Amino acid sequence: MAALSSLGRFKNTGLLLIRIGLGIMFVMHGYPKLMGGPDRWEGVGSAMGHVGVTFLPVVWGLAAALAETLGGLCLILGLFFRPVALVLAFTMLIAALSHLGRGDGIKGASHAIEIGVVFLGLAFVGPGKYSMDKK
């Protein structure tokens, strides 16, 4: 549609909006897990069992809570963007496998799959020029 083709010159603004929106949501999603303490971390970390990792679920749960909380902040700032995007894509893979393993089906896992694909795509695209990673 030719009427909207001029929006292409605002791709860095679009990336900034995506980063801010996803970042805020991941901080809001991860912070309660982070504050939940070892019992919550163990529950979250037990999802690693779906890929055969059954040791140290508390550590894996803390890592996931940190990835979501600090990763969300890094998304907002555009700091360490590509590594953070890949870590969050992996976190969403484990979340999707957890949903599938619980019998939630593809419908239950769809959100984690969708956002994982977005993070994977963002790892290739980068943060845009409005970021702390910009040289």
Rounded to two decimals, the pTM is: 0.91
Residue-level pLDDT at 6: 81
Q: Does the structure show a pLDDT above 70 at 135? A: no
Average pLDDT, the chain: 94
Q: Does the structure show a pLDDT above 70 at 16? A: yes
Q: Where are the domains of the chain?
A: 37-129
Separation CA 54–CA 51 (nearest Å): 9
4 burial (CB, 10 Å; 0-12 / 13-18 / 19+) is exposed
Q: Does the structure show a pLDDT above 70 at 4? A: yes
Q: Each residue of 41-98: pLDDT tens digit?
A: 999 999 999 889 999 999 999 999 999 999 999 999 999 999 999 999 999 999 999 9
Q: How confident is the model at residue 125 (pLDDT cuts 50, 70, 90)?
A: very high
DSSP-assigned letter for residue 31: H
Separation CA 41–CA 94 (nearest Å): 14
> What is the identity of the amino acid at 86?
L
Residue-level pLDDT at 88: 98
Q: How confident is the model at residue 1 (pLDDT cuts 50, 70, 90)?
A: low
